[in-house]
């Protein structure tokens, strides 16, 4: 039976890279995003061309009602779920020194990047436990997409860094709690990846990467780099490594001398 995978923010960028590789792994998909379905039509077609059945849910992960309506839709459509990829996330609209940054941006990022995946995982985990208890062959995993910002301090986007550090702890908490149910929880920490999120800072990162030193592998990361890592986890290649963090950062965070 094909696995069903929910990829939040799977309509573009890193999420689309992940969804594409999960489609190639033989998963059917649920893609969630905040835009209308017509705006992601090309991405959904590309995923279907890779052999996946695709359900699109327009849902805001920061909204409790949005999350539960999405899960009801998935239950009605597929009746089951094997994989949750918490990928949806936002950067601050404007990068601001932490001595000046306001609470509105902090609250927005906390709601979308941390509270959303934390409580979506809670709801999905309960459903996964039910499925596991009624089917001995049931196979599931949860993947959180955080960032190198979980451990690399950028004082012009402190709110973002704090949300990603929080996702790191959420990974550990759920890995511990779901261990007895055989549901591994992993975290992928991407580095500098070429997507709409980084489009506004292309010149800065082009320069930093070009000058050398910042990355060991001196190129932009691509959504498919993250997609391949996620596919490996969904395949079960790291089945005995729950709670682990997988760096997909071209060596950005390697300590060097
Ligand atoms: P992106 O191209 O801006 O895509 C973000 C995705 O998240 C979009 O699909 C968007 O939906 C969705 N989204 C945003 N707010 C949402 C909400 N409230 N509810 C549901 N979906 C929502 O960003 P990306 O670069 O692919 O980033 C994906 C993840 O990787 C994020 O968590 C980000 O923090 C993380 N990350 C990115 C980088 C990087 O360099 N790009 C590095 C490290 C980590 P719509 O398509 O409908 O707008």
Domain assignment present for 71:
yes
Tokens of 97: 């020194």
255 falls within a domain: no
Residue 210 domain-assigned (yes or no):
yes
Q: Which positions ≥6 away from 16 have C-beta within 8 Å?
A: 10, 43, 46, 47, 223
Count of helix runs (H) and strand runs (E) in the chain: 8, 7
How far is the C-alpha of 13 from the C-alpha of 11, rounded, in Å?
A: 7
Of 155, 220, 168, the C-alpha closest to 192 is: 220
Sign of CA dihedral 105, 166, 59, 227: positive
> Is 254 contained in some domain?
no
Give ligand 1 pocket residues (Cβ under 6 A).
8-9, 11-15, 32-35, 60-62, 87-90, 112, 145, 147, 190, 192-193, 195-198
Tell how far the Cα of 213 is from the centroid of ligand 1, in angstroms.
Answer: 27
- List the catalytic residues: 160
Residue 253 lies in a domain: no
Task: Kindly state whether residue 256 falls inside one of the protein's structural domains.
Answer: no
Domain assignment present for residue 257? The answer is: no
Distance of alpha carbon 164 from alpha carbon 170, whole angstroms:
10
Number of domains in the chain: 1
Q: What pLDDT is stored for residue 161 in this prediction?
A: 98
pLDDT of residue 240: 98
Asked if the structure places residue 191 within a domain, the reply is: yes
Ligand 1 atom closest to Cα of residue 14:
26
Which pLDDT value is given to residue 71? 98
pLDDT at residue 138, rounded to an integer:
97
Domain span at residue 113 reads 4-248
CA of 219 to the centre of ligand 1 (A): 20
Q: Give me the pLDDT at residue 81, please.
A: 98
Neighbouring-strand partners of residue 193: 221
- In eight-state DSSP terms, residue 83 is E
Measured in Å, residue 134 CA sits from the centre of ligand 1 at 34
* Spatial distance between the Cα atoms of 39 and 152, rounded to a whole number of angstroms: 34
Q: How many C-beta neighbours within 10 Å does residue 50 have?
A: 17
What's the pLDDT score for residue 79?
98
CATH of the domain at 53: 3.40.50.720
Per-residue pLDDT of the chain (257 residues; tens, 9 = 90+): 999 999 999 999 999 999 999 999 999 999 999 999 999 999 999 999 999 999 999 999 999 999 999 999 999 999 999 999 999 999 999 999 999 999 999 999 999 999 999 999 999 999 999 999 999 999 999 999 999 999 999 999 999 999 999 999 999 999 999 999 999 999 999 999 999 999 999 999 999 999 988 999 999 999 999 999 999 999 999 999 999 999 999 999 999 99
Residue 25 CA to residue 79 CA, distance in Å, equals: 20
DSSP string, 67-80: HHHHHHHHHHHTS-
């Amino acid at each position: 039976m094909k696995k069903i995978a929910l990829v939040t923010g799977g309509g573009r960028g890193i999420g689309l890279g992940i969804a594409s590789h999960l489609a190639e792994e033989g998963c059917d998909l649920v893609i969630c995003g905040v835009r209308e379905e017509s705006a992601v039509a090309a991405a959904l077609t590309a995923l279907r061309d890779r052999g996946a059945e695709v359900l699109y849910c327009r849902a805001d992960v920061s909204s409790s009602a949005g999350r539960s309506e999405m899960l009801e839709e998935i239950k009605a459509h597929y009746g089951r779920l094997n994989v949750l990829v918490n990928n949806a996330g936002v950067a601050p609209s404007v990068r601001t020194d932490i001595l000046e940054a306001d609470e509105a941006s902090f609250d927005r990022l906390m709601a979308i990047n941390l509270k959303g995946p934390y409580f979506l995982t809670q709801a999905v985990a309960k459903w996964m436990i039910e499925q596991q208890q009624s089917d001995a062959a049931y196979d599931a995993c949860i993947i959180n997409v955080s960032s190198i910002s979980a451990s690399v301090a950028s004082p012009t986007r402190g709110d973002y860094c704090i949300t990603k550090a929080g996702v790191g702890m959420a990974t550990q908490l759920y890995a511990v709690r779901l261990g007895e149910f055989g549901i591994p929880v992993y975290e992928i920490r991407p580095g500098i990846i070429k997507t709409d999120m980084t489009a506004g800072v292309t010149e800065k990162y082009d320069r930093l990467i070009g000058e050398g030193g910042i990355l060991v592998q001196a190129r932009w990361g691509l959504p498919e780099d993250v997609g391949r890592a996620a596919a490996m986890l969904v395949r079960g290649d790291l089945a005995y490594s729950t709670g682990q963090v997988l760096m997909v950062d071209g060596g950005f965070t390697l300590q060097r001398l």
